[in-house]
Structure 1
């Protein structure tokens, strides 16, 4: 009986979620599973990795994007119809053509990004570029309407816009990859017809030794790191707000809405700093796992600043909680004396 009630409650909650985005997330889960099967049964590789690894990763990322926005729209009290249309356009004009193009090129066994080998390849990449622009615009527009919502939870009221802003910045890193590399620019200036224009690597050609699963370059800078980190602020920052709210049930120091709000802002600052740090590192041609002394110093400085802000916030909150505990018995004692009198 309890399980049935829980299922009904879940169905009641999710029924208010944005339908197309929710179905899109479910479809991306199916695509990821199919691509996972391709990883096992199809031995073809591209740049040292299975041709199905990229569509599998994009399917997971798009699924997270879709379900997060579906949940955010469900929380909206105003402009629901406008948000519904914006979310629907994002599904139809961004996610669908992007994943379709990536899977299509994977099935052909050719690169989906920066590929100008043939007219078909160039057209596919241009479609992907147009879809990405549309996706950025739709996400920005949804962000505008989501930010303007009234929310009871102050921490979440800050988490949503901050997560969206950092996520949009992370999406924008993708456009840096489409610019010709210095060698490619020189070739174009000489009138050469190039098969590849753009790159995710800095300091070496794409396709070098890469990390497991992510494929991020281990011998050069990789812009995909900042792209990934920034993009998923959309999930991380709201999850921080949710985590703090749940933790507040056990830890009185987190009971104050102001404390949780400040901690969300600190977390967003740190996450934005991390995104900027890995972008700066990649732009200087450094692999994520091979930072130089300057990068390490910057990372330590950022981590120290974030930790100091968090500790200071918790210390102030702890003093307030302690002061309230001391004041409570005094107030109770005065009330008792008043009754006796």
Structure 2
């Protein structure tokens, strides 16, 4: 029987990628500035306070960059290719944030805006940086997935988390080109209503229609959620002895990742049907219940694999 080993959580050997950390720190500062902007600037852009979008993007970049830097540091040694790709992500992110903040200063919307030649050029640049960011993340995902990092549970949490993140990033492509109902605006994130409808606190996600920002956000942050779940299992070993069994932890990681992917599919389907997240219909609730049942069943099966063994050997 496979049990917890000293290599379950790998010793950090590769250095943290400094540009990612610097960019995360810069976005943390930007988030504070944007929040202050929301308090003192009463302008409205595309139905939201002008500084709301920079704040959301800043927080998202903080989470994304810290998680990516941490995962890259778990390799036995640094990869030059991964370092270059991470730097590319930083450059793309800087360009995107400069355009978003610059458009806020001008009082113009950044995404999907083709109202003038200048605005159109900025939107094309943003669209290009998004593609570059996706491709660079994909290269890093492949590099992290072809090697073993820690034990099988940690390794699979990284592989599955990154795979779901790539799907979440790709779901952003559902927004450009959607009918906005506004002249010279070539995309929309709301389904079933114009952008700018009433939104949820903190997130701004629509409370009256479907919102494609939800699956985009939920999917891309699997990068943090799934590996952190695997790390949490290791930390809980002293309190829950059954978690010392490797196949139990692997089973739980796979189950949670599958549940996360299924939930991502559900919120995407819900948004495309024009249904707000907080007002699910019976069909959505039934699907959610089926996903929850599947996760619970998977967890029970994972734990059952260790029941009946005579003893659990510690590392």
Q: TM-score, normalised by structure 2?
A: 0.92
- Check if 1:122 corresponds to 2:120: yes
The aligned counterpart of 1:297 is 286
Residue 209 of structure 1 corresponds to which residue in structure 2?
198
1:144-223 paired onto structure 2 within 5 Å: 144-181=142-179, 194-223=183-212
Mapped pair 1:73 → 2:72: yes
Shift of 1:183: 6.1
Aligned-partner Cα distance in 1 for 2:130–2:273: 26
Q: Which residue number in structure 2 is paired with residue 141 of structure 1?
A: 139
Q: Is residue 55 from structure 1 mapped to residue 44 from structure 2 by the alignment? A: no
Q: Which of the numbers 307, 311, 314 marks the counterpart of 1:324?
A: 311
Instruction: Please name the residue that 1:85 is paired with.
Output: 84
Cα distance in 2 between the residues matched to 1:177 and 1:46: 18
Structure with greater helix percent: 1
SS at match of 2:188: coil
Q: CA deviation at 1:13?
A: 6.5
Root mean square deviation of aligned Cα: 1.9
User: 1:64 — aligned with what?
Assistant: 63
Q: List runs of 5+ in structure 1 lacking aligned partners.
A: 1-11, 185-193, 328-341
For 2:8, the equivalent position in structure 1 comes to none
Q: Specify the structure having the higher radius of gyration (Cα).
A: 1
Alpha carbons 1:79, 1:145 under 8 Å: kept: no
Q: What is the alpha-carbon distance in structure 1 between the residues aligned to residue 12 and residue 229 of structure 2?
A: 21
* Contact map agreement 2:15 2:78 (CA 8 A) in 1: no
Give the alignment's TM-score, normalised by structure 1: 0.85
Q: How does 1:185-264 map to 2 (within 5 A)?
A: 194-264=183-253
- CA distance, structure 2, for counterparts of residue 145 and residue 14 of structure 1: 16
- Any residues of structure 2 matched to 1:97-108 within 5 Å, and which? 97-108=95-106
Contact 1:278 1:288 in 2 (8 A): yes
Inter-CA distance 258–159: structure 2 relative to 1 (3 Å threshold): same
- Please say if 1:312 is aligned against 2:301: yes
Residue 315 of structure 1 and its aligned partner are, at CA, apart by 2.9
Note if contact 2:134-2:166 (Cα within 8 Å) is conserved in structure 1: yes
Counterpart of 1:41 in structure 2 is 40
Which consecutive residues of structure 2, in runs of 5 or more, have no partner in the other structure? 1-10
Asked if 1 retains the 8 angstrom alpha-carbon contact of 2:27 and 2:59, the reply is: yes
Q: Which of 1 and 2 has higher RCO (CA within 8 Å, sep 6+)?
A: 2
